[in-house]
């Protein structure tokens, strides 16, 4: 039995089967590259769903985490610690918001945004008690809690998990008139519109030009909070600090996670102005590990990396190179490419092969990626990747498609 087979068998035997990973067992990583237990190297083009924007083992992040590990890791928010204040000050500065509420996972941050939006609706906007409504988008992915999957339209997320939390209305993604109609239908009880500025799980789905600007104007006009889930799209991935920046839009609430923890530990947060976050009072919300010294130290270092603009610029420049390479494959196995910055979703001809099969063939050639929804594959290499890495990704995908076309005759 190989070492790979041994590790896979252990997981298949003792871990719940809530994932269907590729048959590779990773043991180490550096930058944009990982190595498996057999010593084979792979270019990581998933980057932990953008949690690894700064690559594996970034020296500054590892050094900061190591330093803090040796000092203090956890206090709970029952006490102050010397890392939280500097972190939230820095993150407030990065987002341009007045306050930050730190949590752990992305789903927790989304749940926090939902609770805060409802509380704001009752205490500030004055909506009817118990009637707060939040507008969501079709094709969304905001996490896996029972509340969040309740407004998903993915059968895998919803089947046998109900009954679901009421108070959500779903409209087509990118349809501004539909958002307006949903807000108006709630008769003044709409408190927020929750959306991903770019939908990641859907396959890097970008809304129509002007949609975010129009939504910002609509939310302001109707006195509704615009809540932007930038967990995957934010923190440099799209070539700007936030995906909303591409339309010069500032939401009322940023929802952040993944890359905020530098690929080292879960760190998430929401950021908003005082009028919104002042509704949170002691005892109304919390988390044992949220805002811990270790999380705050790593998160602060991440903000420092982003403050230079270097990673945003890398995503912008390398993203252009990636798109040019992928666009050249349309008509030669690909039917569509959607990309912003160093983040792309490609639709493979469904008659040629599934997305899963594409990822298996890429893996066999030393590139790791993740499929979604049939024949769609996503690429999100760490922002520390090189031009050669981008070219390798494109050439490897070209090889896979050419072989499939040849086999199809």
Tens-place pLDDT, residues 34-69: 999 999 999 999 999 999 999 999 999 999 999 999
CA distance 56 to 217: 39
Closest C-alpha among 51, 96, 90 to residue 249 = 96
Question: Across-strand partners of 337?
Answer: 346
pLDDT higher than 90, residue 28: yes
Rounded to 5 degrees, what are φ and ψ at 286?
A: -175, 180
Residue range(s) in the chain whose domain bears CATH number 3.40.640.10: 72-307
Q: Which letter, b or e, does each residue of 214-236 get, where b requires 16 or more Cβ atoms within 10 Å of its Cβ?
A: bbbebbeeeebbbbbbbbbbbbb
pLDDT higher than 90, residue 232: yes
Which tokens hold the place of 382?
């760490």
The CATH class that applies to domain 72-307 reads alpha beta
Q: Is 258 known to be catalytic?
A: yes
pLDDT band with cut points at 50, 70 and 90 for residue 373: confident
Residue range(s) in the chain whose domain bears CATH number 3.90.1150.10: 3-58+311-408
Q: Which letter, b or e, does each residue of 302-335 get, where b requires 16 or more Cβ atoms within 10 Å of its Cβ?
A: bbebbeeeebbebbbebbeebbebbbebeeebbe
pLDDT band with cut points at 50, 70 and 90 for residue 17: very high
pLDDT band with cut points at 50, 70 and 90 for residue 409: confident
What is the chain's mean pLDDT, rounded?
97
CA distance 240 to 233: 9
The residue from 141, 151, 242, 289 that is catalytic is 141
For residue 142, give Cα distances in angstroms to 145, 160, 194, 246, 259: 9, 19, 9, 21, 15
Q: What is the mean pLDDT of residues 401-405?
A: 97
CA distance 244 to 262: 21
Closest C-alpha among 58, 80, 95 to residue 261 = 58
CA distance 386 to 376: 24
The residue from 229, 252, 371, 389 that is catalytic is 229
Q: Is 229 known to be catalytic?
A: yes
Rounded to 5 degrees, what are φ and ψ at 159?
A: -60, 125
Percent of the chain with pLDDT over 70: 100
What's residue 375's pLDDT?
96
What's residue 172's pLDDT?
98
Closest C-alpha among 136, 367, 98 to residue 254 = 98
What's residue 90's pLDDT?
98
CA distance 19 to 9: 14
- Tokens 């949220």 -> residue: 290
Q: What is the Cα gyration radius of the chain?
A: 21
Q: Which CATH number fits domain 3-58+311-408: 1.10.540.10, 3.90.1150.10, 3.90.550.10, 3.40.50.2020?
A: 3.90.1150.10
pLDDT higher than 90, residue 386: yes
pLDDT higher than 90, residue 362: yes
pLDDT single digits (tens) 60-100: 999 999 999 999 999 999 999 999 999 999 999 999 999 99
pLDDT higher than 80, residue 187: yes
Q: What is the mean pLDDT of residues 287-300?
A: 98
What's residue 404's pLDDT?
97
What's residue 345's pLDDT?
98
pLDDT band with cut points at 50, 70 and 90 for residue 1: confident
Give the length of the chain.
409
């Amino acid at each position: 039995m190989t070492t790979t087979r041994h590790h896979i068998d252990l997981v298949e035997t003792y871990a719940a089967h809530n994932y269907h990973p590729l048959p590779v067992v990773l043991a180490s990583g550096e930058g944009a590259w990982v190595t498996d237990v057999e010593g084979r190297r792979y270019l990581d083009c998933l980057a932990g769903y953008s949690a690894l924007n700064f690559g594996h083992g970034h020296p500054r992040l590892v050094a900061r985490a190591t330093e803090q590990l040796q000092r203090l890791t956890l206090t709970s928010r029952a006490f102050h610690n010397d890392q939280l204040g500097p972190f939230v000050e820095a993150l407030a500065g990065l987002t341009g918001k007045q306050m930050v509420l730190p949590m752990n996972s992305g789903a927790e941050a989304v749940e926090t945004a939902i609770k805060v939006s409802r509380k704001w609706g009752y205490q500030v906007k004055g909506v009817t008690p118990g009637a707060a409504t939040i507008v969501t988008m079709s094709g969304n992915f905001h996490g896996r809690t029972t509340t969040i999957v309740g407004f998903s339209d993915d059968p895998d997320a919803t089947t046998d998990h109900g009954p679901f939390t009421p108070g959500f209305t779903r409209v087509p993604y990118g349809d501004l008139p539909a958002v307006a109609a949903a807000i108006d239908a709630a008769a003044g009880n709409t408190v927020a519109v929750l959306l991903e500025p770019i939908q990641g799980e859907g396959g890097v789905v970008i809304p129509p030009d002007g949609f975010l600007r129009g939504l910002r104007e609509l939310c302001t006009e109707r006195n509704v909070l615009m809540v932007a889930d930038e967990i995957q799209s934010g923190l440099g991935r799209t070539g700007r600090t936030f995906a909303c920046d591409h339309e010069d839009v500032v939401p009322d609430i940023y929802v952040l996670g993944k890359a905020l923890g530098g690929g080292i530990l879960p760190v998430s947060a929401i950021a908003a102005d005082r009028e919104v976050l002042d509704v949170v009072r002691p005892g109304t919300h919390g988390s044992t590990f949220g805002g811990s010294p270790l999380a705050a130290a790593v998160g602060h270092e991440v903000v420092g990396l982003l403050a230079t603009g270097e990673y945003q610029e890398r995503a912008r420049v390398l993203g252009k190179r990636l798109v040019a390479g992928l666009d050249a494959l349309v008509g030669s196995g690909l039917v569509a490419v959607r990309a912003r910055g160093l983040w792309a979703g490609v639709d493979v001809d469904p008659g040629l092969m599934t997305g899963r099969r594409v990822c298996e063939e890429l893996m066999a050639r030393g590139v790791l990626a993740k499929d979604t929804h049939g024949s769609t594959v996503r690429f999100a290499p760490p922002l520390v990747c090189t031009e050669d890495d981008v070219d390798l990704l494109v050439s490897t995908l070209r090889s896979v498609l050419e072989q499939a076309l040849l086999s199809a005759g």
